[in-house]
């Protein structure tokens, strides 16, 4: 456990909490967190996670832009439902990304856990895009991913980060409940909106 890891944990918690509250400032706060974690993961030889943090930095900008485009209710973004078509396309993209990245990491690097890290990375990108698009389902995917991340980080001796991701599971459960309540409220006020 390093001072850098402690700071990264605190900033990450703030970023996820702001996301659960549907407050747009979650995106710039999260940029700081991903930059710190890029360094931490590189040092732990979790190269797919390192790349993920770099991509996350760009996705934070996308999320900020998406959440800034209208759809606000008292300063909070509106929640949406994921369509079946987008679900299938996203999951297919996640599988392709996991296979490609896993093959690269296992063949060309000394990555500690290349296939698991690649799979979690690919599907974390899917979850991030879903969150940027304000899809309720993003929280369900984060619950699964964060649970698996806990195991991987414990395996790598990143105990504080494993604790952070266990906390993320709790925050994702809270985020899902809050966003679901808000979505149902939105839908009850606007019968024309649907799945």
- Domains of the chain by residue range: 3-189
- Cβ burial of 146 (10 Å; 0-12, 13-18, 19+) is buried
SS percent in the chain: helix, strand, coil, step 5: 80, 5, 20
> What does the pLDDT read at residue 195?
44
pLDDT tens-place values along the chain, 195 residues long: 789 989 999 999 999 999 888 888 998 999 999 999 999 999 988 898 899 899 989 988 888 888 887 555 555 678 899 999 999 999 999 999 999 999 999 999 999 999 999 999 999 999 999 998 889 999 999 999 999 999 999 998 889 989 999 999 999 999 999 999 989 988 888 765 444
Q: Are 11 and 34 in contact (CB under 8 A)?
A: no
pTM: 0.83
Q: Are 155 and 83 in contact (CB under 8 A)?
A: no
Smallest CA-to-CA distance from 127 within 92, 98, 91 is with 91
Q: Are 25 and 65 in contact (CB under 8 A)?
A: no
Alpha carbon distance 181, 178 (integer Å): 5
Query: Diameter of the chain by CA atoms?
Result: 54
CB-based contacts of 74: which residues, under 8 Å, 6+ apart?
none
Task: Determine the 3-state secondary structure of 135 from DSSP.
Answer: strand
Phi, psi of 194 (to 5 degrees): -145, -170
């Amino acid at each position: 456990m390093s001072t850098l890891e402690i700071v990264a944990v605190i900033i990450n918690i703030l970023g996820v909490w702001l996301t659960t509250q549907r407050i747009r400032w979650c995106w710039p706060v999260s940029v700081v967190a991903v930059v710190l974690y890029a360094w931490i993961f590189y040092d732990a030889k979790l190269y797919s996670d390192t790349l993920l943090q770099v991509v996350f930095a760009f996705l934070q900008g996308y999320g900020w832009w998406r959440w800034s485009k209208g759809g606000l209710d008292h300063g909070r973004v509106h929640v949406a439902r994921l369509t079946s078509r987008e679900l299938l396309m996203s999951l297919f993209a996640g599988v392709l990304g996991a296979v490609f990245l896993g093959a690269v990491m296992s063949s060309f690097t000394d990555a500690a856990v290349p296939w698991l890290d690649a799979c979690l990375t690919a599907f974390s990108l899917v979850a991030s895009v879903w969150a940027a698009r304000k899809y309720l389902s993003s929280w369900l995917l984060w619950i699964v991913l964060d649970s698996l991340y806990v195991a991987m980080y414990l395996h790598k001796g990143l105990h504080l980060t494993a604790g952070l991701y266990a906390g993320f599971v709790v925050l994702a459960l809270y985020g899902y409940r809050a966003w679901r309540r808000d979505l149902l409220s939105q839908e009850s006020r606007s019968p024309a909106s649907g799945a």
